Structure formats: C-alpha cells, structure tokens
Amino acid sequence: MTTPPYWRKSTRSGADEGDCVEVAGLDGLIGIRDSKNPAAGHVTLTRQTFAVLLTRFAARP
C-alpha cells in the first residue's frame, strides 16, 4: 500500500492569494500542481531539474 503524496503550498503564498502552486515528493521526483485545481493533474520533474527551475525563478527581478 502506497502513501498518498503530501502536497505543500508555497510559504510565499498568503492566506487569500490566488496564484499558488503546491509541491510534493513523488518517489524521488518532485510534483508541481496548481493549488486551485489539483484535479487537473501535475507536472513531474527530477530533483535536479526542480533545483534549476528554482534557481532561475530566484534570479528573476
């Protein structure tokens, strides 16, 4: 029996913010989904690709 993923909302999201993403560890990968529409599915990235994505977002003005 597998444990369902634990989805976490960004700590930068306020209580009433509309544009939020959630992330979860998925068997060595990272899942990313829209918190407003979780039933729409998710994107799965390797941990390395996720780290590159975060670095690029952090570098944006």
Supply the pLDDT for residue 11: 73
Contact between 12 and 21 under an 8 Å Cβ cutoff? The reply is: no
Supply the pLDDT for residue 56: 94
Contact between 46 and 29 under an 8 Å Cβ cutoff? The reply is: yes
Within the chain, how many helices (H) and strands (E) appear? Answer: 1, 4
Supply the pLDDT for residue 57: 86
Q: Residue ranges of the alpha helices (H) in the chain?
A: 47-59
Domain ranges of the chain: 8-12+20-59
Question: Smallest Cα–Cα separation from 21: which of 11, 6, 32?
Answer: 32
Mean pLDDT, contiguous 10-residue spans, the chain (61 residues): 84 69 93 92 97 91 78
Question: Smallest Cα–Cα separation from 10: which of 25, 26, 29, 23?
Answer: 23
